[in-house]
Amino acid sequence: QGLYEAVHAKAAHALVLGRRAPREGGRLVRLGRVARRLLRSLPVPIVVVPPDLGADQLGSGPVVLGVDLTESCGPAAAFAARVATAMRRSLVLVHAVHPPDRGPYVPSDVWDHTILHLRDHGERAFERWADHHHVGATERVTLEGPPVQVLTGLARERDACMLVTGSRELGGVERLFLSSLGSELAASSPLPVAVVPPR
């Protein structure tokens, strides 16, 4: 409650939190209770930082913005652009196309055609979304695979300084069946992750 009051009293633009788990290696509990609660309610953008990340270990590359093409990512795009400008870094906009699991009786030529169609449709939808939201990214990248792996892989490859994503603000029942991309990234990423509320 004290953090909520401080955020509102100071009209904070973001809140930076440390997490429990180091960049490499594992802990069963990767985010503490306060971080999990704040990521669920998101009074402002929350930036989660690994406890063993020193200032000299911050990546020298771009800010990476991961989007799922929903309206909830619009504010994340604006936040990522402001951070990239303030840090004098480029902004890389990323969309992960995650194809369904291949069924056991799907012929390979049908499967290949389906994947090409999904990728093409995903790329066109991505371009429309980015144009609609006026995202001034230096680069737009569409990759295939699970979003958490795609984003962390690209961030490592580019030596990114921060990952940014939006939040769908899942309700209690939804959280039982769906995971939050922002929470998963915040719990596992080796670099700072900003999760931005949709409003």
Give the residue extent of every domain in the chain: 2-196
Q: Which one, of 16, 19, 64, lies nearest residue 187 by Cα?
A: 19
The mean pLDDT of the chain is 82
**How does residue 97 score in pLDDT terms, banded at 50, 70 and 90?**
confident
pLDDT in tens, 116-161: 888 888 888 888 888 888 888 789 998 888 899 999 999 999 999 9
Give the residues across from 91 on adjacent strands.
63
Answering whether pTM is above 0.85, one says no
Pairing of strands 15-18, 46-49: parallel
Rounded Cα distance, 80 and 52, in Å = 23
C-alpha R_g of the chain:
17
By the 8 A CB rule, do 69 and 96 touch? no
CATH number of 2-196: 3.40.50.12370
pLDDT of residue 63: 97
Q: How far is CA 144 from CA 79, 97, 98, 120, in A?
A: 25, 5, 6, 11
Tell me the CB-side half-sphere exposure of residue 139, using CA atoms within 13 A: 13
